[in-house]
Amino acid sequence: MNATKASAEKERVLITGAAGFLGSHLCDRFIAEGYHVIGMDNLITGRLKNIEHLFGNRAFEFYHHDVSKFVHVPGPLKYILHFASPASPIDYLKIPIQTLKVGSLGTHNLLGLAKAKGARILVASTSEVYGDPQVHPQTEDYWGHVNPIGPRGVYDEAKRFQEAMTMAYHTYHGLETRIVRIFNTYGPRMRLNDGRVLPAFIGQALRGEDLTVFGDGSQTRSFCYVDDLIEGIYRLLMSDYAQPVNVGNPSEITIGEFAEEIIKLTGTSQKVVYKPLPKDDPMQRQPDITRAREILGWEPKVDRSEGLQITYDYFKSLSPEELHEKEHNTFEGYVRK
């Protein structure tokens, strides 16, 4: 059997946001599991570099497309994973309307595609649906504390609408849907300049800059290594559970303590400088993963010190140009488009 025919007989998966941090790791996982992966991305925040190693693989194809517009994929689809969206404040504050559209119109388009194809769809929600939480740690039953007209509302409400639309398709159309609420995740292929705290700290350390902490550093986050997250997502997709599930690492740390961890990891001599806390920035973030443990048999395995070392080694391998990169994407040199 030739490679083309073998690939044609594989079950097919559509992954939106495929050139992004999480989307690219999902492409790798599903190809490793024996699926034919169709990656889709408009490259607003995704990078072709994240998936360039897949362009010669017959089990992968790439569509340069904005899912906020009508989505057509010829042929059968077994699964759809909707990960297209800006995912850091620096992005969704820069492109707020596109952020709202990909969570609303994009989700509607992909739910319609899933219905037409008879495919199971998993949508990527976020811990941001809990807003600045008044319940700690956050369980899936908590409805959240979100400012819909604040600067972060464009992302928070896009994801909350996404969940509502997904559940409506599940209850009204009987569509097989899954919702994952993702907490802070880190690992190789993050963008140094995406504004999130981990790449920001490591990027500053590598460039010899002081580490910037917003607020007094007492706010908390819980960091999950990307391989653990991908495993949780895969298990949720393959499960029979349609309600939202938190996937993240409950090991909580203050941002001030985290800055000190990064200084120790990188061996830099820079100091920590403090700036005002952005509006509506959550003071606490820690997942309750009881549901993931009980339903998926999942919990994170990678210790933060191990994951940080892998991530730091990845960032150290970047060229000086990449350390100071201005985002750009081009199809030049790529065979498939």
End-to-end CA separation in angstroms for the chain = 26
Lowest mean pLDDT across 49-63, 202-216, 225-239: 202-216
Q: Where are the domains of the chain?
A: 3-323
Q: What is the pLDDT of residues 280-337, one digit of tens each?
A: 677 878 899 999 999 999 999 999 999 999 999 999 998 777 777 644 333 333 333 2
> What is the rounded CA–CA span in Å between residue 161 and residue 107?
9
Catalytic residue among 35, 155, 169, 225: 155
pLDDT band at 277, cuts 50/70/90? confident
* Helices (H), ranges, the chain: 3-8, 21-32, 89-92, 96-117, 153-173, 197-206, 226-238, 255-266, 290-291, 304-316, 320-323
Q: At residue 114, does pLDDT exceed 70?
A: yes
Would strands 220-222 and 252-254 be described as parallel, antiparallel, or unpaired?
A: antiparallel
Please indicate whether residue 172 is annotated as part of the active site. no
Average pLDDT for 80-104: 94
Q: Is the pLDDT of residue 6 over 70?
A: no
Whether residue 16 is predicted with pLDDT greater than 90 in this model: the reply is yes
Identify the pLDDT of residue 276: 87
The whole-number average pLDDT for the span 269-284 is 81
Q: What is the pTM of this model?
A: 0.91
CATH topology of domain 3-323: Rossmann fold (3.40.50)
Predicted confidence at residue 233, as pLDDT, reads 98
What is the rounded CA–CA span in Å between residue 157 and residue 166? 14
Q: What is the pLDDT of residue 336?
A: 32
